[in-house]
Amino acid sequence: MKTAIYYASSTGNTEEVAEKISKTLGGIDLFDISQNGFKDIEKYDKLIFGTSTWGDGDLQDDWEELWDKFCELDFANKTLAFFGLGDGDSYADTFCNAMATIYGQACGKGTKTIGETSKEDYTFDESEAVKNGKFIGLALDEDNEYEKTDKRIQTWCESIKNDIL
């Protein structure tokens, strides 16, 4: 079973996080959707999606541009994990909402989702990415809590390793 990360990055932060996750999980395949779209996605049984949140909870530009194509994809019988970047200070009431948008579209009948994380030790007010008291994936704040990123990535990768590899 093959695993890949599909992400988009405007400032380079999401790309850097995707690379760290790939490296931590042993070098899994990386696809920047701005360059590759969703090329070869059907070849992967296990997928990790990454995005940043812009403005008041909006998708990152490349995700927005390719959204219709993403909505046509079928993820039945796939294992899915998510990571998102947000600004818990300036956009405290929409922290990592874009991750929730992707999650909401991708998850459905026949999908297995993994990688929930505790919302403890985060500074934010509200997030659509919190379901049943936990983040639906790995939430990161490179603007205000960058010193916690590496530890959060390590802990998250350890928690999904058995299901994603």
Structural domain boundaries in the chain: 3-164
Q: In terms of CATH architecture, what is 3-164?
A: 3-Layer(aba) Sandwich (3.40)
pLDDT-above-70 percentage for the chain = 99
> What's the rounded mean pLDDT across residues 23-41?
95
What pLDDT was estimated at residue 1?
Answer: 65
Residue 121: CA count within 13 A, CB half-sphere: 12
Nearest Cα neighbor of 75 from 37, 101, 113 is 113
Do 52 and 7 contact (CB within 8 A), yes or no?
Answer: no
Structure tokens at 129: 């990415």
pTM of the predicted model, to two decimals? 0.96
Q: How confident is the model at residue 75 (pLDDT cuts 50, 70, 90)?
A: very high
